[in-house]
Amino acid sequence: MNIYMTTGTYDFLKTKKEKLQEEKLFLMENADNALLLHETNGKTVFQSPRKFEVIDSKGEIREDGFVVMNNIPVTAEGRPIFEYRFKNRAGLIEGEPGFIAIRVLRPLNSDTYVIFTEWESHEAFKTWQSSGSFQQAHTQKDSEKVDTTKKIFSGPSYVTQYTLSKKE
């Protein structure tokens, strides 16, 4: 499974989505821009997208909800370690109230992995952030301590948030 993303104005992306109703497209927006996400086993319908391979997936993305994307730049030599950690995660997030879906995305044309989560609401996401499962997921165990001689991250991570809505 692959995910492709493109950004633009809401109206332009909405028109593109309406023309391609047979595709699995999700339109979302925030205060800065709009993003159209294409989830497919085939080729993308976008001209110059950000390209990702889905390496972990739970739940089905819905057309209404609150999306959080944790963007994490990873060095080439850090990829196996990073992916191992996510493939062996506890999976506690899936049991959280308001959780809808997660996709762990391996970049195909950059160094930035994306941890995509969808929630029923912004409030559900904030509640998870103050939960024990969040603390457990973000605490490094002694057995997972990073060898500081290996540089895993190529830059600081950053978070983007979007709202998915079926508005016409």
Whether pTM exceeds 0.85: yes
Total domains, the chain: 1
Q: Distance between CA atoms of 128 and 51, rounded to whole angstroms?
A: 28
Q: How crowded is residue 6: how many other Cβ atoms within 10 Å of its Cβ? A: 19
pLDDT at 148 > cutoff 60 = no
Q: Distance between CA atoms of 116 and 129, rounded to whole angstroms?
A: 15
- What's the CATH code of the domain at 133? 3.30.70.100
Band (168; pLDDT cuts 50, 70, 90): low
Whole domain around residue 115: which residue ranges? Answer: 2-141+149-164
pLDDT of residue 142: 46
SS3 132: helix
Can you point out the beta strands (E) in 9-157? Answer: 25-29, 34-40, 50-58, 65-73, 99-107, 112-119
Q: Which residue has the higher pLDDT, 147 or 104?
A: 104
pLDDT at 146 > cutoff 70 = no
Q: What is the mean pLDDT of the chain?
A: 89
Kindly state the tokens that stand for 32: 């800065």
